[in-house]
Chains A and B, each alone.
Chain A
Amino acid sequence: MKQINLILLIFVLVIANACKKENKDIEASFIEESISKIKINPNVKWIVILPGLGCHGCIQEGEGFMQDYIENKDILFVLTKIESLKILQKKINISIKEHTNIYLDRSRVFDIPTDNTIYPCIVQLEKNKVISHEFQSPDNSTAFQNLKELLAK
């Protein structure tokens, strides 16, 4: 009887655990679906999702990266949850109208549904398919630096 109870207990716990989908998987499928909702140039190799609200320092890193790499057409910059485009344009000294590699996410389809939504996200693409994604966060503070090094190769 004890064995049956133990098996039942394990079964219940396994079922409960199976219901918990990892954040990484949730994010990957979400980003994939978000990308399918917009038209992307097939030559784009990287997407940088920059939220307007969230981790202040991390977003500043992303804005700095955007200033340095705005002319790189391999990168699509997605601006989401921006409170004011006017203030952002003034801050980063970039005129949005003059660049075709900026996507204004007014409908917030790139508002990632996990706690990582507050961080800038770097997505690697191959033929519009997501290869990987990572966030610039206090726990992963070199994401943009790593990307810079990859782009320099």
Chain B
Amino acid sequence: MRKFTLLYSCIFVLLIGCTKVIKLKNEKQGELKATKTLEVTKVKIILLDSDTAPTPQYTQMFKDSIEGVNYFTFLNIYNNSIYFYDYNSLEFIKKITYDKRGPDGILQPLSYHIKNMDSIYVYNKALMELFLTNSNGQVLAKKSLIGDNNLRKSPWFLSYPQYNPETVTPFIETSKELLFTGQSFTTVNDTLINKFKFTAYIDYKLDHISFSHTYPKELYGFDYNWIGDLYTKVFVELHPDGDKLIFSFPVSHDLYIADIHSNAYHKVYAGSNEAGTNYSINKRPDKLSSETIFVHYAKQNDYAAIKYDKFREVYYRFFKTAIPNPNRFSRPNDKFIGVIIMDKNFNYLGEKLLGTGKQWYWQNSFVTKEGLNIEYMDNDDVDEVSLTLKIFTLKKI
């Protein structure tokens, strides 16, 4: 009889498929006092050509020290080009177009970094490579980001990060290397939690790549189920000191700071006054429907990009609010987008709710002297004639 009781217990556990759950409480919820907020003080409207759509995958501000022009650049995935606009006059200046095939071919560019006009790094999603190119669209060198593994055959994704680069998760330029932060697209198995590194360190000649920084075990270890790429996304910003990285993990009310080449984190609180407890999923990844995963995500307040504003010496941390009573028709873009403002020592100054993700393409956010630029979407404009940047500055309450 005991044998059969054991058998049923095993079947029951398999059917239920439970797993350990972590609850991340927001210790300061409702106790934070705001002294500052953000307000729109400028709007920039950039007219687009017939081949270009708003909400480009990736943008970069680039100052050409020779020409003295401050460029707003973006990737047009529809024609394999990087567009250059004068950020001040909003005039279109030029574009660099890459071949898709051939000796200078880049099949699927998804992001880039302009170091200077002779050194433009382009990430090719199709084969997970990084190209060194010039402003004539010529390829000078290339390097696999997955150790030359076969993309289709080898389980390389257990050892190497995958990349979904956006303006808020840019390449980071240091004196010696270019940093490119990726993520795991699934829950990280506990046996890999101390091995899986998500930031690539790439030397500028593309001779050498190394990897650093692992998911904090206290958040993602112990087989906690944070299934779905939204929970495992890694947002990173270079500390103004230049020798540290600041990581914002979607599930945590804290920021994790580490030396640029060290994996030892220290935490600082950076939560929203409104956010409640975040908790991982109580079922095994293989026991979940996409609807269950989404409803779980919809109920959480998750955090996103961290940006430093060197002109005002403040940090902005993006977050997305939970959807009240989510159902099968709720979508990630139904979440409200918010920005927490902190001083240079991460003390809370306030927060601002912008609107839903249907209006604000927060993924295209960056800081300029004018303020915090965030792309705004005009959903009535089916012809998509322009790209709109709304610029926020601080306001005392």
Contact = CB atoms under 8 A, between A and B. Distances in A.
Interface of A: 1, 5, 8-9, 12, 16, 30, 33-34, 37, 83-87, 89-90, 96-97, 104, 106-109, 111, 113-114
B382 interface: yes
Given A106-B358, A106-B379, A108-B331, A85 B384 contact: yes
B53 interface: yes
Most B CB within 10 A of own CB, among A33, A86, A89: A86
Contacts of A33: 328-329
A85 B328 contact: no
A12 B12 CA distance: 8
A84 B15 CA distance: 42
A90 B78 CA distance: 12
Contact of B383 (A30, A86, A111, A113): A86
B4 interface: yes
A5 B4 contact: yes
B346 interface: no
A37 B4 contact: no
Contacts of A96: 382
Given A85-B384, A96-B382, A113 B328 contact: yes
Contact of A90 (B11, B50, B289): B50
Q: Which among A34, A108, A114 has the greatest number of chain B C-beta atoms within 10 A?
A: A108
Contact of B331 (A86, A87, A107): A107
A117 to B, nearest CB: 8
Contacts of A30: 328
B382 A85 contact: yes
A113 B55 CA distance: 25
A12 B329 contact: no
A144 B385 CA distance: 33
28 contacts: A9-B7, A9-B8, A12-B8, A12-B11, A12-B15, A30-B328, A33-B329, A37-B329, A83-B53, A84-B53, A84-B78, A85-B382, A85-B383, A85-B384, A86-B50, A86-B53, A86-B385, A87-B51, A87-B53, A87-B78, A89-B383, A90-B50, A90-B51, A97-B382, A106-B379, A107-B331, A109-B329, A113-B291
B224 to A, nearest CB: 25
A3 to B, nearest CB: 12
Contacts of A9: 7-8, 11
A87 B289 CA distance: 33
B384 A107 contact: no
Nearest to A102: B382
A88 to B, nearest CB: 9
Contacts of A90: 50-51
A37 B328 CA distance: 13
Given A84-B78, A96-B382, A107 B11 contact: no
B290 interface: yes
A16 B8 CA distance: 13
Contacts of B12: 12
Contacts of B8: 8-9, 12
Given A12-B8, A90-B50, 8 more contacts: A1-B1, A33-B328, A85-B384, A86-B52, A104-B382, A106-B379, A107-B331, A113-B328
A9 B8 CA distance: 8
Contacts of A8: 8
